[in-house]
Structure formats: structure tokens, C-alpha cells
Amino acid sequence: MSLTPEIISLLILDAIFLFFGVIALVIGFRIALKWDNQATTSLQYTLSKQSALVSTMIKYIFMLKLPLFAFFIYTCDKLSTIITGAMCASGVVNSVDFGLYLTLFKLLNLYLFGFWLLLHSADIHDEKLPYTKLKFILFVLFSVPLFAEIGLEIAFFAGLNISKIVSCCGTLFSASSSSYISLLFTVDASLWVWLFYGFFGLMVLAYGLKHTPLMIFANGMFLIFSIIALIVFFSPYVYELPTHRCPFCLLQIDYYYVGYLLYTLLFAGTFYGIGGGILALVSHKAHPRFMRVSLILCALYLLIITSYPVIYFIRNGVWL
């Protein structure tokens, strides 16, 4: 293990999250089992106070994990300068067998706990507290990927070997890659692009029809095909190199950190579309504000990423 200040910070925070997460899980499990908002017993009064405490703990865990996702990528990007073969965070993440799974767990937990906070907000703004039992049942379930992420991150940094020669992003994100990512390049890029724009169109249609399940589905598919289209088609126009398709290099200073803007718009937009939609189904109440925010953020992402090939073509008169 190579202990840089960034890695030490992440490991310390992992220990803190694990400590408070276990406390929240134990108390949350008790609340999930025994909560009865119709009761007037001393137990119910105690559970009410514990519910407020645990909810605050969960809220601050999420508030810290939100910027820490970006900090993890930044840390991996910084480590790429000392690991042979790595040119960005991609090489570092993939230098450990489960590095990609760790990244996916981090992203999944942001969506899960973000939704938990939406449900929590709806719960505390209703005097009947109708979702308290549900939100703690969900927290018990969501704690599984949370603890899995913490365990994987500790194992990731413990297994990181700075003397190991790793593959660069140019190799990982290409048709010659030995991973499943190479399968993306066996399909014509235009198909991924059409699916990208098509599911955005479906989002617009779902918003106009106020069809919540369709909005959830369209956002989920838009998220998937946005990332695929970014890798296969759009990223070479950002780099102005036909063979450079890495989604991590967008986060580097050479490209003005544009990746942070793009991913924030994409993840926040699809989160509000999916999370707000599920909340509407659970509460049986429409949440048009979430749907509107989702559409605006996803539209901004689409406009910015589309501008790169358009501007490149205007300047050079050819497509990559």
C-alpha cells in the first residue's frame, strides 16, 4: 500500500463512515421493526428521538460522500503520475481487479442515499411521518452496498501496487481491449448516438405526458447510453484525437476539467428523474419540480456534449 495524504484521508473517512454506519444500522433496524406512528408509548417516543438522530447521521454521511466521489477520482488521477503505464485515473482504477466495481458501487450509493434523503424530506414534512418505517427498511437494505463500498475501497488501496505496470486508457477504451468494454466498439457508433438522443426524446415525451414510470425508464436508459455514447463517439471530439476515448481524462486540467461539469449535469439530472419519479410513485403525489429539474440538467448535458462534434466540424470540415 502506498499511503499518500489523499489515501490516508479517504481511509480515515472510511473508518468514520463505518463507525457511524454500524451505529445507524443497529438503531435503524430497531426502528424498522418496532416503529408504529399510531402508538403513544414511551418506546415510540424513544424511537422518534432515535429516528431524528440516525437520519442526521445518514444525511451527513451522504453530504460527505458526494464530494468524496470526485475526490476519489482526483486521487486516482494523481496516483497515475507515479504508476507506470497509467495516464489518468482509468489506469489506476483498472490496475486492481475490482477497481471498476468499486467505482460503480460509489456511484450506486450516491443514487441510493440521494433517494433516501428525498424520502426523508417528504417524511419529515408530513406531520403523520408516513414514510419513517419505509425509509429505515430501505436504509437497512442500502447499508449492504455502503459497507461493500467501504470494504472494497480499503482493499483497493491495500492492493494498489505502484511498481506494477498497468494499461493506459488508450488501451482500455479501444476495440483491442481484452475487457467487455471492447464489445462497445463492435457496434456502429451511430447506433449508440441515436439511442442517446432517442431516450432524451423519450424523456421529453414522458414529461409532456406526465407519465412517471416512463420518465424513470427514460432517465435510466439515458444515463446508460450517455456514458456509452460519450466513450464511443463524443470523447474523441473533446480530445480532438480519433483514438482517444477515455471518460476519465475529461477530468484533467488539459481539458479544463470539463468532465466535472458534464458528469455533474448527467448524474444530477438522471438522479432527479429516477429518484423524483420513484418518490412520486411511493407517495402517490406528483413532483413536477423534480421532473423539470431533471429535464433541464439532462438537456444542458446534451447541448454541451453535442457542441463538441459540431464545433469540430465547423472548424475542420470533417468528422472524426
Model confidence pLDDT, tens digit, residues 126-146: 888 999 999 999 999 999 999
269 and 141 in a common domain: no
Asked whether the beta carbons of 116 and 108 are under 8 A apart, the reply is no
User: 311 lies in which domain range?
Assistant: 169-316
* Tally of domains within the chain: 2
How much is the average pLDDT of 265-294? 95
CA atoms within 13 A on the CB side of 268: 15
pTM of the entire predicted model: 0.94
191 and 142 in a common domain: no
232 and 139 in a common domain: no
pLDDT of residue 178: 63
Within a domain: 164 = no
pLDDT of residue 3: 80
Asked whether the beta carbons of 199 and 221 are under 8 A apart, the reply is yes
pLDDT, tens digit (0-9, with 9 covering 90-100), for 286-307: 889 999 999 999 999 999 999 9
Asked whether the beta carbons of 288 and 255 are under 8 A apart, the reply is no
213 and 279 in a common domain: yes
How much is the average pLDDT of 273-282? 96
Radius of gyration of the chain (CA): 22
140 and 13 in a common domain: yes
3-class secondary-structure state, position 130: coil
207 and 144 in a common domain: no
pLDDT, tens digit (0-9, with 9 covering 90-100), for 159-186: 888 787 887 787 778 776 666 777 888 8
Torsion of CA 288, 222, 231, 100, to 10 degrees: 90
Within a domain: 24 = yes
